[in-house]
Amino acid sequence: MRAAGRIAAEALALAGEAVREGITTKHLDTIIRTHIEKCGATPSFLGYSGFPGSACISINDEVIHGIPSEERRLKEGDIVKIDVGAYYKGFHGDCAATFGVGKISKEAETLITATRESFFRGIAQAKPGNRIGDIGSAIESYLITFGFSVIRKYVGHGVGAQLHEAPDVPNYGTPGRGPRIFAGQTLAIEPMVSAGGYEVYEADDGWTVRTVDHSLTAHYEHSVAITEEGVIILTRLGDDMEPYDGNADGLR
């Protein structure tokens, strides 16, 4: 899973570096697929339940599951969510981030930053003996201080030999409730956040999820492993993959 996670993270980073005005979402998808396959892995999303792309690329009020297209070009001020999965030697790595195109609004900047920070608030609670509700509560309680809301229809999940495994990991919850967290568990924790309401709908393409009120959204995700010493972020780049103990600000 470390290897699968690193491949997914590298592909995400390469796509993020390529984000600029005028580039098509299909071009970003090609960058991702090329890197994953060069590493001897396969894109987790390609063909998953019929999904046609190697990555989910969603813009502005689109939350997740955006289909890459030659017809869609990024524009100045857009914020683009890129969600990548890599399958390598029997295991998946799954990660996502949100990128701004050129100069973006202050609201968009705050949304992206808060969504990323909420992930770290969540994994600080991902300890053996805690419960899944502790993670979701930490994420949501931080985000509501900005007036943001977490998407409720879609949640994080277990990840490993299958892309989506039990348990569900909502980005909201009640402390002390939900399945128990245990050492050896691997989870994909992924805050999906709206600057407005949390209601969403599926577009006519059968995949793209958008906010009903068309408010901006952000997405941030890592695959992590729970250990007695702390959380290991499997989709983090760099050689240092020491367990995260909830206080290592450098990981941000």
Query: What confidence category does residue 238 fall into, taking pLDDT thresholds of 50, 70 and 90?
Result: low
DSSP classification of residue 212:
T
Q: What's the average model confidence in pLDDT over 46-55?
A: 97
Cα atoms in the 13 Å half-sphere on the side-chain side of 76: 2
Q: Which two tokens stand for residue 31?
A: 């960058």
Residue 244: band (very low, low, confident or very high) from pLDDT cuts 50, 70, 90:
very low
**Whole-number pLDDT of residue 227:** 95
Distance CA(207)–CA(196), nearest Å, equals 21
Mean pLDDT, rounded, for 60-81: 98
> How far is Cα 119 from Cα 157, in angstroms, rounded to an integer?
14
pLDDT digits (tens, 9 = 90+) for 219-229: 999 999 999 99
242: confidence class by pLDDT, cuts 50, 70, 90: very low
pLDDT of residue 245: 52
Would you place residue 251 in the very low, low, confident or very high pLDDT band (cuts 50, 70, 90)? Answer: very low
- Of 138, 103, 100, 98, which Cα lies nearest the Cα of 119? 138
**Interval 166-213: pLDDT, tens:** 999 999 999 999 999 999 999 999 999 999 999 999 999 999 999 999
Share of the chain above pLDDT 70, in %: 94
Which domains, from first to last, does the chain contain? 2-251 (3.90.230.10)
The H or E element that residue 168 is part of is strand 165-169
For range 118-134, the mean pLDDT = 97
* Amino acid found at 246: G
Per-chain mean pLDDT for the chain: 94
Sheet arrangement for strand 186-189: 165-169, 156-158, 186-189, 222-227, 230-233
Does residue 22 have a pLDDT over 90? Answer: yes
pLDDT band for position 237 (50/70/90)? confident
170 SS3 class:
coil
Non-local CB neighbours of 124 within 8 Å, separated by 6+ positions: 138, 246
